[in-house]
Structure 1
Amino acid sequence: MAQPFLDDIRILDFTRVLAGPFCTALLGDLGAEVIKIESPDGDDYRHIPPISDGTGGLFLLLNRNKKSLSIDLRSDEGRRIVHELVGHCDVLVENFRPGVMERMGLGYPELSAINPRLVYVSISGFGQTSPMGNLPAYDLIIQAMTGFLDLNGDPDGPPMMTGESVADLTTGLFASWSVLAALLARERSGRGQYVDVAMHDCLTSFLPAALAQHFYGEAPPSRVGNRHPLGAPFGVFRARDGHYTIAVLNPKQFARLAEAMGQPDLSRDERFCDNGRRNENHEQLKQHIEAWSGTRSVEEVINALQHHDVPCSPILTASQAIASPQARQRGVLRAIDTPEGTRITTMTQPVKFSGMAASRSSPPPRLGADGRQVLSKVLGMDAGQIDILVRDGVLADER
């Protein structure tokens, strides 16, 4: 089995909170050495509940496979150390507001002059060139500004945010993808490049149904509640003791649904004879389906539908899904031990490669835990030099 794909790649990680750390965690899963640069106070997510043994759960999940180097970037010596580290790194990822890195003398022009092969990725809310200027951007703001928020919720209710930070996560995923693409380009050209990743851009690219309606439909996109805006039956339905989902997309699937319901003629009803008409007559179709399922338990409904090969599912809670045989067998979550002997559960990248062993998993770092090791290994500093940095407040040392 081959070594991890990125085991010769070193990443300087200036990110905090969610989008950036998710990006660099995915790269660390593939074997990259990720050196997380933190302020003496640490990443905000270290302090956000729920807390486990003094560390925020979100930090534990998103900062696996990383080393922590806590430097005061306000100091000249701190910035000098970064300049030296850049000469030994392949990638830099940051998610400050536009202009912050430049004001510290850590922008792409300065650092690429030190290392022309550097891939420099900037993650921001609206991009480095934007009419939104330098406004702060959290996930909720991006959901609102892209129209994503307006598409979620009941038709007669208010816009509804999603239960997870979808803008941050999609941005982190695109950012990790951009790093890999830029590294491949570097293999061909010999040079690194600057990569501008905007949360607004990334979440907009996750709106294909809304864009199809806007550009090619007869009505603008709008909230439709617990169903798909372009097809039916494709959504949430009621059973006697709860709710379940059906995802029917084509005539064969709808015919099988009608058979499962004991109403085969339903597939020949003019109101429901194709996807467009089923969508137009969704409420009438929903009444037929729920008249059948409303007298049955969710388990009975799912058994009947699966027997006829109709795409469907019970609606699990997050806790049920995490504990399911599917999640366990696929190994998307992994238990690992910290240096203190505490067992924690963290995520890993979800893709299985035939050419690489399972993603590595090392525990998230304690703040500043790896400063001495990184400065010694990468820059060749001796203990005395490092002690001076600690004495002067440039390096925060966990000891």
Structure 2
Amino acid sequence: MSERKATERKATERKALAGIKVFDMTQGVAGPHSTMLLAQHGANVIKVEPLDGDWGRALGKTYGDLCAHAVTFNRGKRSIALDLKTEEGRAVAKKLAADADIVVESFRPGVMGRFGLGYEDIKAVNRDVIYLSVTGFGQEGPYNGLPVTDSVIQAFSGLMSINRDGEGAPQRIGMIAIDVMTGLYAYQAISSALIARMRFGEGAYIDCSLMQSAAAFQSAKIMEHHMEDGAPQVLYVPVGTMKTADSYINITAMRDRHYVSLCQVLGREDLIDDPRFNTRDKRIEREMELMPMIRAEFLKKTTVEWCELLTAAEVMNSAISDYGDYLANEQVRAVNSVAWVEHTGLGELPMVNIPGLPAIEGADQLTECAHIGQHTAEILGEAGFAGDEISALLTANAAGQYAA
């Protein structure tokens, strides 16, 4: 290990959140993503879910009570299954929340209050608690109670308006981008609140909505929309995905020197000093005139050939990869971007290393996704429940225990 890598590992392997207790009442993606990050940084995360499990366990193809999303966003947590519609289940949840540093929930506004598990309820028994709610549209306003998905927020926030197909129809990004981004914003908000509590001795209530996260994610585009009267110009030309003789390549000619190099590689030196295109602003203004000529040239060679030529000329480019291509790429392997780890019952899985944390070196509790209620008895025992009390909760279906 190099001295630089050794220094980086020393600075990050002491888990910053070790000893911090998190009571996680979230489902889906956004909330679980935030608490997974807390777990990976050392927090003791207890995930409470219904007896039939977090609905995020059924996203896409399932493997028993697991799926790709569940493994990704819930690794490193312990699971307790509680029926919060029962008085006994709510009492257990409140007892666990009373002992937590952080409580995170993702129910619709008002639901936690009706369960007696809202911020004020928990603050009454846990004065310094940091309580974060993940919502769709926020706690107030005419839309606050509406159900929301990632794609709905992509549509609502304007994101689809700037992502269109060849015929101009608005399209969603092909992944749950806003859910994932909301999880990141929630994690940073909780981390900041923890530091504030250390400095000032006070807990906090935080609302982190998908709507606001989508806006923050697109803040520069929203600013452009206002400053440029609703029709922002492209940042530079030529840029985009080009069809080649055998597949596709993406290129970016950001500066004048990139444009000159691109034209030279394409064998279109005539375009370099063409008065229609010899400045950035002219290229942007005449994009519809320039780009067909650029695209026509890319049809003459394969993607591999173009990548070699463009890279040698220092024109930014990449072949269009799928995830298999990414996992096999030598650069990905060189920086240990992805660790291949054995997961109980699922075999070897690609787990992406989180920036800022030491690379995963093998299977452990932080790489495992618990089954529904896998740790129910263990968690209840730690909370002071006697064996007969645990049995009574299970018999009454106020709690559930995973049976292998």
TM, length-normalised to structure 1: 0.91
Residue equivalent to 2:246: 241
**Counterpart selection for 1:313 from 291, 295, 318:** 318
Q: What is the match of residue 391 of structure 1?
A: 395
**Counterpart-to-counterpart distance in 1, 2:248 and 2:149:** 32
Pair 1:210 & 2:226 matched: no
Seen in structure 2, the aligned counterparts of structure 1 residues 346 and 386 have a Cα distance that, compared at 3 Å, is farther
The 1-side partners of 2:57 and 2:153 are apart by 23
Determine helix, strand or coil for the equivalent of 1:128.
coil
Q: Is the 8 A contact 2:255 2:280 kept in 1?
A: yes
Residues 41-67 of structure 1 show CA distances to partners (whole Å, capped at 9, x for unaligned) of 101122333122552222122211011
1:273, distance to aligned residue in structure 2 (A) = 2.5
Letter of the 1:367 counterpart: I
- Count of aligned residue pairs for this structure pair: 389
Tell me the amino acid that sits aligned with residue 72 of structure 2: L
Summarize the Cα distance change of 1:210–1:10 in structure 2 as closer, same or farther, 3 Å threshold. Answer: same
Q: 1:193 to 1:54 in 2, by over 3 A?
A: closer
Deviation at 1:311, TM superposition (A): 0.5
Q: In the alignment, is the contact (CA less than 8 A) between 1:26 and 1:348 conserved in 2?
A: no
Letter in 2 for 1:380: G
2:234 is aligned to 229
| 1:270 equivalent in alignment to 2:275 | yes
Partner of 2:385: 381
Q: Percent identity?
A: 30
Q: SS in structure 1 opposite 2:262? A: helix
Matched, 1:368 2:366: no
Note if 1:9 corresponds to 2:20.
yes
Equivalent residue runs for 1:317-336 within 5 Å: 317-336=322-341
Contact residue 237 and residue 286 of structure 1 kept, 8 A: no
1:130 maps to which of 138, 141, 147: 141
What secondary structure does 1:194 align onto? strand
Letter in 2 for 1:385: E
* One-letter amino acid matched to 2:401: D
**Bigger CA drift: 195-204 or 23-32?**
23-32
Tell me: CA distance 1:229–1:277, structure 2 relative to 1, closer, same or farther (3 Å).
Answer: same
Q: Please report how far the alpha carbon of residue 348 of structure 1 lies from its aligned counterpart in structure 2 after TM superposition.
A: 4.3
C-alpha deviation, 1:344, in angstroms? 4.2
Distance in 1 between residues matched to 2:371 and 2:93, nearest whole Å: 20
Q: Distance in 2 between matches of 1:210 and 1:362?
A: 36
- With over 3 angstroms needed to count, the CA separation of the structure-2 counterparts of 1:333 and 1:51, relative to structure 1, is farther
Distance 1:329 1:380, change over 3 A: farther
The alpha carbon displacement at 1:233 in A equals 1.1
Which runs of 5 or more residues in structure 2 are unaligned? 1-9
Q: Which residue of 2 aligns with 1:302?
A: 307
- 1:166-187 deviation line (CA, Å, top 9, x unaligned): 1111111111111111111111
Q: Distance in 2 between matches of 1:211 and 1:330?
A: 35
* Aligned residue in 1 for 2:5: none
Whole-angstrom CA distance in 2 between matches of 1:155 and 1:338: 41
2:257 matched to which residue of 1?
252
Is it true that 1:200 corresponds to 2:211 in the alignment?
Answer: yes
Deviation, 1:339, is 4.7
Q: Partners of 1:4 and 1:112 in 2: how far apart? A: 27
Seen in structure 2, the aligned counterparts of structure 1 residues 208 and 80 have a Cα distance that, compared at 3 Å, is closer
CA gap of 1:395–1:186, structure 2 versus 1, over 3 A, is: same
Question: Which residues of structure 1 form unaligned runs of 5+?
Answer: 222-227
How far residue 381 of structure 1 moved from its aligned partner, in angstroms, is 2.5
Q: Is the 8 Å Cα contact of residues 341 and 351 (structure 2) preserved in structure 1?
A: no
Match for residue 92 of structure 2 among 81, 84, 88: 81
- Aligned to 2:276, what secondary structure does the other structure show? helix
2:169 partner SS: coil
Distance in 1 (alpha carbons) for counterparts of 2:369 and 2:301: 47
> Does the 8 Å contact 1:62/1:347 carry over to 2?
no
Q: What secondary structure sits across from 1:271 in the alignment?
A: coil
Q: Is the CA contact (8 Å cut-off) linking 1:236 and 1:245 kept in structure 2?
A: yes
What's the TM-score, normalizing by structure 2? Answer: 0.90
Amino acid at match of 1:99: G
Q: 2:178 aligns with which of 162, 167, 189?
A: 167
After TM superposition, give the deviation of residue 211 of structure 1 in Å: 2.1
AA paired with 2:399? Answer: L
Paired amino acid for 2:85: R
1:341-365 deviation line (CA, Å, top 9, x unaligned) = x424253452135xx6759733100
